[in-house]
Amino acid sequence: MVTKEQNEELTRVGPGTPMGALLRHYWYPVCFERQLDEFPVKKVRLLGENFAVFKTPEGQYGIVAERCPHRGASLAYGIVEDGGLRCGYHGWLFDREGACTEILAEPDSSARFRAGVCVKAGRAQALGGLVWAWIGEGSAPELPRYEAYVMDGVRDIGHTVLPCNWLQIMENSVDPYHVEALHGNYFEFIARWKGFEMPSAFKNKHEKVSFDPFEHGIIKRRLLVGQTEDSDDWKIGHPLVFPYKMWVGGNGVYQMQIRVPVDDTTTWVMFYTVHAPEGAAPADQMYPVDYEIEWVDSNGDYIVDYIEGQDIMAWVTQGAIADRPGEHLTRSDLGVVALRKMFRDSMTAVAEGRDPVAVIRQPHEVIPLPLERSKFGRGAEFAVQWIDRGSMRYSPLADDLKKLHVTAAAAVAAAAADQ
Ligand code: FES
Ligand SMILES: [Fe+2]
């Protein structure tokens, strides 16, 4: 049972809160790399604080608190220079460490004065078409190079901003039973009334589930009725990547679901998908394609005829911050309990001065994560159904992606027939 106080502690992400201190140990995407190439400075909000993120003409990224320490104008309306970011209002210049390096109309002897007027600075860098920021205290950890961001394939990012706390979205990632209920029975109900075919993969009943903590979060396994324990869904499973992602997919579609806590009641949700079916040619993309996904219609009703739309309905209707003291948990909620424990243990680690789970200090090339290769034992058909009845249906590349999977599967089948 979660008390009102515990719910506050689990969900408040601003500066000075225990969860805020924990979450400031990680890097987060704050915008698309493409955006800073189109215009080099942008206002962003992360963990309840406003920032200006920028890219200098030399190609270096920086992120500083939005408010100029001179008289409070927005640095998101500043001038980007090799030396950093210059406030648009009176021209004070701040370097990427946040130090004030120039004050107009003040002589050089003002160095001591300048020393007292630095702006809070984080670290920023680009990876996989996203610009990432770290806004914590002390020394910055490594930006984790999870497989999704470095693997070859066609990148497709559907995204939207949701009016709810990030934790209820994360709890959904360790809630396998919702798949047969929401994406099975409810989907079937909607399909019947609206008159369309639903994907068949989600109706299967769960026989058992398991949640195993590991160095990057929690591995979720499921055994569906009719599967053996040799199936990828049980043997390999897929992870919740602590503290704000889930890695999911198979059959040539690999997806990092990213939930950036913008503030206590706002989450930037991203479906970062890499299409890399066996037999496909190497991808040729300057940037990932990015597009907004839709989740309410013109009447203000949730759009529930696709998978992620159903999830969004569930996440948002739980409220801006889910009422955990009012819940009634059962055995189907074991994963949710395990995740809350991981958050509480991690807050304790931070309070004791230790690094929490999934903070990476070692430089590395790539971090592979466990993932079913054969999802629900299905092939290219799975990918096509996912595109048709998932958020990728909003992608400008939707038709090309379906073609990519079907063509690659045909090439693999032809090669096998030749042998
Ligand atoms: S408000 Fe930024 S330089 Fe004056
Ligand atoms: Fe779901």
68 lines ligand 1 (CB under 6 A): yes
Ligand 1: atom nearest CA of 104 is: 3
Mutate to test the pocket of ligand 1, among 71, 94, 114 (most ligand atoms within 8 A of CB): 71
CATH class (in words) of the domain with range 27-134: mainly beta
pLDDT at 281 over 80: yes
pLDDT of residue 202: 75
Question: Mean pLDDT throughout 248-252?
Answer: 89
Identity of residue 253: V
Asked if 30 contacts 63 with a C-beta cutoff of 8 angstroms, the reply is yes
Question: Mean pLDDT throughout 6-19?
Answer: 98
Q: 250-274 as b/e, with b when 16 or more CB fall inside 10 Å?
A: bbbbbbbbbbbbbbbbbbbbbbbbb
pLDDT of residue 380: 82
73 lines ligand 1 (CB under 6 A): yes
pTM exceeds 0.85, yes or no = yes
103 lines ligand 1 (CB under 6 A): no
| Cβ-based neighbour number of residue 114 at 10 Å | 17
CATH class (in words) of the domain with range 147-418: alpha beta
pLDDT at 201 over 70: no
Question: Mean pLDDT throughout 265-292?
Answer: 95
pLDDT at 106 over 90: no
Whole-number Å distance, alpha carbon 80 to ligand 1 midpoint, is: 15
pLDDT at 221 over 90: yes
Ligand 1: atom nearest CA of 73 is: 1
373 lines ligand 1 (CB under 6 A): no
Whole-number Å distance, alpha carbon 175 to ligand 1 midpoint, is: 49
Indicate the pLDDT class of residue 337, thresholds 50, 70 and 90. Answer: very high
Listed in sequence order, the residues at least 6 apart from 395 whose beta carbon sits closer than 8 Å to its beta carbon are: 156, 158, 289, 291, 387, 401
Ligand 1: atom nearest CA of 87 is: 2
pLDDT of residue 416: 85
Question: Mean pLDDT throughout 181-195?
Answer: 94
Q: Please report, rounded to a whole number, the percentage of residues in the chain having pLDDT higher than 90.
A: 81
90 lines ligand 1 (CB under 6 A): yes
pLDDT at 377 over 60: no
Question: Mean pLDDT throughout 265-274?
Answer: 98
Ligand 1: atom nearest CA of 91 is: 3
Listed in sequence order, the residues at least 6 apart from 97 whose beta carbon sits closer than 8 Å to its beta carbon are: 118, 121
In the chain, where the domains are located: 27-134, 147-418
Listed in sequence order, the residues at least 6 apart from 58 whose beta carbon sits closer than 8 Å to its beta carbon are: 82
pLDDT tens column, 378-412: 678 889 989 999 999 999 999 999 999 999 988 88
Report cis status (omega within 30 of 0) of the bond before 370.
Answer: no
Strands of the sheet containing 100-102, edge to edge, are 79-81, 84-86, 93-94, 100-102
Q: Across the chain, what does the average pLDDT equal? A: 94
**Read out DSSP for 16-45?**
TSHHHHHHTTS-EEEEEHHHHHHSSEEEEE
What does the alpha-carbon distance between residue 155 and residue 31 come to, in Å, rounded to a whole number? 15
166 lines ligand 1 (CB under 6 A): no
Whole-number Å distance, alpha carbon 113 to ligand 1 midpoint, is: 15
pLDDT of residue 378: 63
pLDDT of residue 251: 85
pLDDT at 109 over 60: no
Ligand 1: atom nearest CA of 71 is: 1
pLDDT at 199 over 80: no
Instruction: Cite the DSSP H helix spans in 131-239.
Output: 147-150, 166-172, 177-180, 187-194, 232-235
Ligand 1: atom nearest CA of 75 is: 2
Whole-number Å distance, alpha carbon 312 to ligand 2 midpoint, is: 8
Asked if 390 contacts 308 with a C-beta cutoff of 8 angstroms, the reply is yes
Closest-approaching ligand to the CA atom of 181: 2
Mutate to test the pocket of ligand 1, among 41, 64, 66, 70 (most ligand atoms within 8 A of CB): 70
* Residue 415 in tokens: 């090669």
- Eight-state DSSP code of residue 144: P
Whole-number Å distance, alpha carbon 362 to ligand 2 midpoint, is: 33
Of 57-71, 104-118, 126-140, the poorest mean pLDDT is in 104-118
Q: Which residue has the tokens 């889930």?
A: 246
pLDDT of residue 412: 87
pLDDT of residue 373: 77
What does the alpha-carbon distance between residue 237 and residue 375 come to, in Å, rounded to a whole number? 9
93 lines ligand 1 (CB under 6 A): no
Asked if 390 contacts 307 with a C-beta cutoff of 8 angstroms, the reply is yes
Looking at ligand 1, which residue's alpha carbon is closest to its atom 4? 90
Whole-number Å distance, alpha carbon 167 to ligand 2 midpoint, is: 14
Question: Mean pLDDT throughout 42-55?
Answer: 98
pLDDT of residue 104: 80
Whole-number Å distance, alpha carbon 265 to ligand 2 midpoint, is: 20
Whole-number Å distance, alpha carbon 307 to ligand 2 midpoint, is: 7
Per this entry, what is the length of the chain? 419
Question: Mean pLDDT throughout 328-344?
Answer: 96
pLDDT of residue 244: 98
